[in-house]
Chain A
Amino acid sequence: NAGVTQTPKFQVLKTGQSMTLQCAQDMNHEYMSWYRQDPGMGLRLIHYSVGAGITDQGEVPNGYNVSRSTTEDFPLRLLSAAPSQTSVYFCASRRGTGSGNTEAFFGQGTRLTVV
């Protein structure tokens, strides 16, 4: 069981470069989200999707784009990387929103450094 797979695990970017963080899940979950984790800040929601073709902004969306063309994939794009985007990024998926469906399954994270 693969669950949620994120690639790459580590990445170093120069300021101004662009890149895409990949996320794929094989659990047929409708809900997918991207979070960033900084020291002392817990997990902050960047963007989320409630199904293919439907995305919305979270708490800290600036500087990031997403799209959801299939149920399985939810890539996160950084168009012009900035040092403030240095963080650990987690992708998560959930089956639904009811109390029996809220468990979030996470990938192992992508550690991004922007220099």
Chain B
Amino acid sequence: TQLLEQSPQFLSIQEGENLTVYCNSSSVFSSLQWYRQEPGEGPVLLVTVVTGGEVKKLKRLTFQFGDARKDSSLHITAAQPGDTGLYLCAVTSGTYKYIFGTGTRLKVLA
């Protein structure tokens, strides 16, 4: 059983479309991170959300932390081919374990 379930697993859309991906858990977390991974590279941090209900924006990307701090969403407006990649959420489980979600693989077609 995965601590962090992400959906959808795969997403293929046309350039200019909007999309939302989700990261869900039954546990409460003090913070949650979103990463993007491009082929052949390690993941790179996009954002950290800390407060329940918090919304953060990074250009066309909008991140929200659920009110109960159990889930999060990532919304991309007007997707571009450069947004293509694997999107991963991550949390600290217990005191030290740093756990990643199952990932959403996004492909944006020109």
Residues of A within 8 A of B (CB): 4, 31, 33, 35, 40-45, 48, 50, 56, 58-59, 90, 92, 94, 97, 99, 102-109
Distance of A107 Cα from B43 Cα, bound (Å): 9
Assess the B48–A99 pair: CB atoms within 8 A.
Answer: yes
Taking CB atoms, residues of chain B closer than 8 Å to A40 are 9, 102-103
Most buried by A among B2, B30, B35, B97: B97
8 Å CB contact of B96 from A31, A41, A105: A31
Assess the B43–A43 pair: CB atoms within 8 A.
Answer: yes
8 Å CB contact of A94 from B30, B98, B102: B98
Assess the A35–B100 pair: CB atoms within 8 A.
Answer: yes
| Number of residues on chain B facing chain A (CB within 8 A) | 28
> What are the interface flags for B71-87 relative to A under an 8 Å C-beta threshold, 1 for contact and 0 otherwise?
00000000000000000
> Does B88 reach chain A (CB closer than 8 Å)?
yes
Distance of A15 Cα from B63 Cα, bound (Å): 44
> What are the interface flags for B14-47 relative to A under an 8 Å C-beta threshold, 1 for contact and 0 otherwise?
0000000000000000110101000011111100
Assess the A43–B100 pair: CB atoms within 8 A.
Answer: yes
Nearest chain A CB to B91's CB is how many angstroms away?
Answer: 9
Distance of A99 Cα from B13 Cα, bound (Å): 33
Which residue in chain A gives the minimum CB-CB distance to B100?
A43
> Does B61 reach chain A (CB closer than 8 Å)?
no
8 Å CB contact of B98 from A42, A45, A107, A108: A45
Distance of A2 Cα from B102 Cα, bound (Å): 28
Taking CB atoms, residues of chain A closer than 8 Å to B42 are 4, 90, 92, 105-109
8 Å CB contact of A42 from B30, B40, B50, B103: B103
Assess the B45–A103 pair: CB atoms within 8 A.
Answer: yes
Assess the A103–B100 pair: CB atoms within 8 A.
Answer: no
> Does B6 reach chain A (CB closer than 8 Å)?
yes
